[in-house]
């Protein structure tokens, strides 16, 4: 029996409200053929159903309106199966998600990232000038072709072969302390150009770089140190700033070979180092990191850079030991400079 074939929507610029975003099947343009970018259970759990999210062009949509076209087979089949598992594991905390099959968890995370891009394909960049083009164009989507192929691993048997990682992404799960204020329990950020995503869901923190596993290989020692530590949300924000900044200074364009036969799709990522003597990751300066910390934490420059050229950290004490910050402790007290 042959396997379903890959759907190459991006190569064919096949984007419409009546085409399944995942497999390309024709669908009706109605609510029964819609997949929520952020799953319904998540929206209800965090009270986001009617809350607004601001997109790149300034458009405000309720979270429940962030939907993309999806056929019944994908929606009620492969995607639904993954969704149920994530929901069940989420209830039991970060450790349960860590133990989940990472390929399935990657699909769940990637659907949110890619789904937002797909939704923005149909929204004008300038709401006052509908003819000015969309937020994300079909041409822009070409750089995300590999991500769309990876996303299809939930419907097409796929074998990943990557030296640096077990999956074609850098994906980290953290145990985060949950704020008492329900309004502060959810946070989402992404960087489309550098393919990174930050998601804080109550007691669970998820960081993802869709970099074919580069930060898993080169950054495991850094991130793994904090994965068993109960993080204050500010500490998790600092980790997010590190992941996003590292993606900015990534000095490689991963090379991938995709093969397809009647049984399986093979997805081979060539070694990141290659023949280049240039480091896989460059070095950032303190000023750039200060801007990133301000973006993640909402603090002033004086707080994130108390001395010129040196950033504050909430992750470690001055002796290098892990720092515990309780939820009742102001996180800007006794900063350690790096």
Flag whether pLDDT at 23 surpasses 90.
yes
Q: Partners of 265 in the beta sheet?
A: 158, 260
Place 334 in a pLDDT band, splitting at 50, 70 and 90: very low
Confidence (pLDDT) at 134 = 58
Flag whether pLDDT at 203 surpasses 80.
yes
In the chain, where are the structural domains located? 1-156, 161-338
Phi, psi of 43 (to 5 degrees): -60, -40
Q: How far apart are CA 2 and CA 93, in angstroms?
A: 38
Tokens 């799960």, residue?
A: 173
Place 57 in a pLDDT band, splitting at 50, 70 and 90: low
Flag whether pLDDT at 3 surpasses 70.
no
Q: How far apart are CA 24 and CA 333, in angstroms?
A: 53
DSSP label of 331: T
Flag whether pLDDT at 122 surpasses 80.
no
The count of other CB atoms within 10 Å of the CB of residue 326 is 9
Q: How far apart are CA 251 and CA 269, in angstroms?
A: 16
Q: Strand, coil or helix: what is 160?
A: strand
Confidence (pLDDT) at 126 = 46
User: What global pTM score does this model have?
Assistant: 0.92
- The closest of 26, 25, 117 to 68, measured between CA atoms, is 117
Lowest mean pLDDT among 14-23, 40-49, 125-134, 171-180: 125-134
Whole-angstrom CA distances from 326 to 80, 83, 178, 274, 311 are 37, 32, 10, 44, 22
String of DSSP letters for 20-48:
-TTT--B--SSGGGEEESS-HHHHHHTT-
Burial letters 41-58, b for 16+ CB under 10 A, else e: bbbebbebeeeebebeee
Q: How far apart are CA 68 and CA 36, in angstroms?
A: 7
Q: How far apart are CA 332 and CA 303, in angstroms?
A: 7
């Amino acid at each position: 029996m042959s396997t379903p074939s890959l759907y190459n929507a991006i190569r064919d610029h096949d984007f419409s409200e009546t085409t399944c975003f995942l497999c390309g099947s024709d669908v009706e343009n109605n609510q029964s053929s819609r997949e929520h970018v952020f799953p319904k259970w998540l929206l209800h759990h965090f009270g986001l159903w009617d809350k607004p999210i601001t997109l790149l062009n300034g458009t405000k949509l309720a979270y429940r309106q962030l939907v993309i076209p999806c056929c019944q087979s994908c929606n009620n089949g492969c995607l639904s199966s993954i969704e149920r598992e994530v929901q069940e594991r989420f209830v039991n905390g970060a450790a349960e998600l860590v133990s989940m099959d990472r390929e399935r968890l990657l699909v769940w995370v990637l659907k949110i990232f890619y789904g937002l891009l797909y939704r923005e394909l149909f929204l004008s960049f300038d709401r006052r000038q509908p003819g000015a083009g969309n937020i994300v164009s079909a041409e822009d989507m070409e750089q995300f072709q590999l991500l769309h192929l990876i996303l299809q691993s939930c419907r097409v048997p796929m074998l990943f072969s990557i030296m640096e990682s077990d999956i074609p992404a850098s994906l980290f799960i953290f145990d985060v302390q949950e704020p008492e204020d329900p309004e502060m329990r959810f946070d989402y950020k992404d960087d489309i150009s550098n393919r990174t995503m930050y998601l804080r869901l109550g007691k669970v923190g998820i960081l993802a770089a869709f970099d074919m596993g580069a930060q898993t290989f080169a950054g495991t020692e850094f991130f793994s140190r904090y994965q068993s530590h109960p993080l204050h949300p500010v500490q998790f924000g600092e980790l997010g700033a590190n992941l996003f900044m590292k993606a900015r200074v990534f000095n490689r364009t991963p090379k991938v070979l995709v093969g397809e036969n009647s049984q399986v799709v093979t997805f081979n990522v060539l070694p990141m180092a290659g023949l280049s003597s240039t480091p896989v990751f460059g070095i950032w300066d303190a000023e750039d990191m200060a801007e990133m910390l301000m973006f993640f934490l909402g603090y002033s420059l004086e707080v994130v850079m108390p001395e010129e050229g040196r950033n504050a950290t909430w992750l470690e004490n001055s002796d290098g030991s892990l720092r515990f910050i309780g939820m009742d402790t102001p996180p800007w007290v006794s900063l350690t400079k790096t």
